[in-house]
Structure 1
Amino acid sequence: MKNIYKILIAFIGVLAVSCNADDVENRPVIQPVTAPVLLSPKNDFNIVLTKDKEKEIATTVIWDDAKYDGTQTVVNYTIEIAKAGTKFAAPVAVTTTTARFKALTVAELNSALVNGGFIEKQENSVDIRIKATVGIGAEAQYSNFYTFKATPYHTPLASSHWLVGAATPGGWSWDGDAETEFPLVPGQTNIYQVTIVLKSGEAFREFLSNDFTSGGNWGANNSHNYTYYSGLGYTIDSELVNAADGDSNFKYTGPTGPRVLKIDNVAKTITVD
């Protein structure tokens, strides 16, 4: 009787394996027929991205559907970008959808560009295409591509301070990321340093936060001036003096050019090298 049970179990096992093999062999093959066709954006698209508009729509990517032979299934479309002329050797996936269009916000496009190694605050040439995929193991199809131009903005660190004033490249303005980021030294929690082109004979001020609007954060409670630091006993570089302009801003008296500005709140020093 035991032998009969063993034979029966073995037979059922062989039957199950056979059925699974048949399922794999009989599984319908999905073959690519027509690749998606990218319609927009085209080569004439050019955009300057700014953080104060990050929730707005930068562009809507539109394409014609891809077609496949075989059992009907959902087609996934991935928007890919790459540096122009690289033949998508290292594409960046912006987003994936099952629709045939996708509205990209300024923040979404900027994030993809920055993550893809495009240069911030400079115009870049960007190749864009659509990748279509279905199921598992089916061959991907790629659309035609266009090359557009985009200028991504810098994504600042939350811990950074900011420099604004006529002595800085952006002047007395917060418009279009005109302010200069003044970040912490890596690994430090209270030492700020930046390489910046300072203009001789002009003033600037340090701001503690930034709401990334054109109005900026002008409040006195949000900034430090020359007398704030001198009053705390900081040793201040001789090329920085009190501007005596009614706001006691810093005035830079050294030669115009790239300088390394450092505020060390541990050693209580402000240096210009």
Structure 2
Amino acid sequence: MKNSLRLLIAFISIGAISCTDDVQDRESVSENAAPVLKSPTTLNLVLNHDFPNDLATTVVWDYAAYNGTQTVVNYSIEFAEAGTNFASPTVVATTTNKFKTFTVGELNTAALDAGLAPFVSSAVDVRIKSTVGSLGSMAQASNFVTLNLTPYPAWPNWGIIGSATPTGWDSDTNMDYSLSSHLYSITMPLIGGQAFKFRLDDGWSVNFGDNGNDLTLEGNGADIPVAVSGTYLIVANFSTSSVGGMAPTSYTITLQ
């Protein structure tokens, strides 16, 4: 019995020593080489809201390298305003692969999330950041490329068209949308003695006019007259309207 007990204690002691040695001999993880961004190579992209499921671009990079025990490496694709040295980057995608494809819709969302204005070509720096573990430690940042992106709004695109506008009845002038107030607005020159209307997505299938010239809009309503030439602030609250039912909505027009 005593011999058996001695053997058990010896066995436990050997196991403990082996475990300790294993922990001491295990190599810790450390940075080795940052990921290398290889593409995109097309640096000017105008995104078209008519084709949200089309391929926009593919971001490709070489894997990062870490010394020590193998572990999962996570990759984040970061966008930042060009020239800011990624002072306030926006993470637009994460993956464990070494590539990420973006549809037009996905890249448009990424651009808007990064603060890019719709219908404007804006320069954005793109890079890859690698980290290890669930806590995202030991970050390594890649080189970067600069893209010129022109996103479209993720909200309905309302514009103004008419003989009173600089482009006449040939094309719309897009209005700005406020995420906080949910109002559309624009400051623009208008020609006295002429008229304008509001329409959706540069088409006539959904448009608003003002039948009584009383600052209330109706679907397919009358052209809105402009009495005096000048620069006007126009604000419209389309959030109260029902596009399908053409419910009334309000607007204001103020000479500046």
TM-score (norm 2): 0.69
Residue in 2 that maps onto 1:144: 143
User: Of residues 161, 165, 187 in structure 1, which corresponds to 2:162?
Assistant: 165
Q: Distance in 2 between matches of 1:40 and 1:51?
A: 23
SS of alignment partner, residue 101 of structure 2: strand
Give the Å deviation of 1:70.
2.1
Secondary structure of 1:197's partner? strand
Aligned to 2:253: 272
Shift of the alpha carbon at 1:194? 2.5
Alignment of 1:177-256 (within 5 A): 179-180=174-175, 186=181, 194-200=185-191, 201-207=193-199, 210=200, 212=201, 216=203, 218-219=204-205, 222-227=206-211, 230=212, 235=214, 248-256=222-230
**1:197 and 1:257 in contact (8 A); partners too:** yes
Distance in 1, Cα, partners of 2:226 & 2:65: 65
Deviation at 1:24, TM superposition (A): 7.3
Residues 180 and 186 of structure 1: CA distance in aligned 2, closer, same or farther (over 3 Å): closer
1:40 equivalent to 2:39? Answer yes
**Cα 1:112–1:166, aligned 2, differ >3 Å: closer, same or farther?**
farther
**Residue 14 of structure 2 corresponds to which residue in structure 1?**
none
Query: SS at the partner of 2:138?
Result: coil
Kept in 2, the 8 Å contact 1:37–1:64? The answer is yes
Deviation at 1:225, TM superposition (A): 2.7
The runs of 5 or more residues in structure 2 that have no matched partner are: 1-18, 241-248
Hey, what's the Cα distance between the residues in 2 that align with 1:202 and 1:100? 57
Q: CA deviation at 1:254?
A: 2.2
Shift of the alpha carbon at 1:40?
Answer: 0.8
Alpha-carbon spacing, 1:161–1:117, altered in 2? closer, same or farther (3 Å): closer
Structure 2: how far apart are the matches of 1:196 and 1:116?
25
**Letter aligned with residue 111 of structure 2:** L
| Counterpart mapping for 1:17-32 below 5 A | 28-32=27-31
Q: 1:85 to 1:271 in 2, by over 3 A?
A: closer
Shift of 1:263: 7.5
Count how many residue pairs are aligned between Structure 1 and Structure 2.
Answer: 226
Q: Distance in 1 between matches of 2:250 and 2:134?
A: 61
Asked if 1:257 corresponds to 2:238, the answer is no
Q: Retained in 2: the 8 A contact 1:79–1:131? A: yes
Contact 2:127 2:143 survives alignment (8 Å): yes
CA RMSD of aligned residues (A): 3.9
**1:120 and 1:166, CA in 2 relative to 1: closer, same or farther beyond 3 A?**
same
Structure 1 stretch displaced more, 108-117 or 144-153? 108-117
- % identity of equivalent residues: 38
Distance in 2 of aligned mates of 1:38 and 1:185: 36
TM-score for the superposition, normalised by structure 1: 0.66
Q: Answer yes or no: is the 8 Å Cα contact 1:81–1:94 preserved in 2.
A: yes
Match runs of 1:87-106 below 5 Å: 87-106=85-104
Kept in 1: contact 2:76–2:94 (CA 8 A): yes
When you count strand as a share of all residues, which structure comes out higher?
A: 2
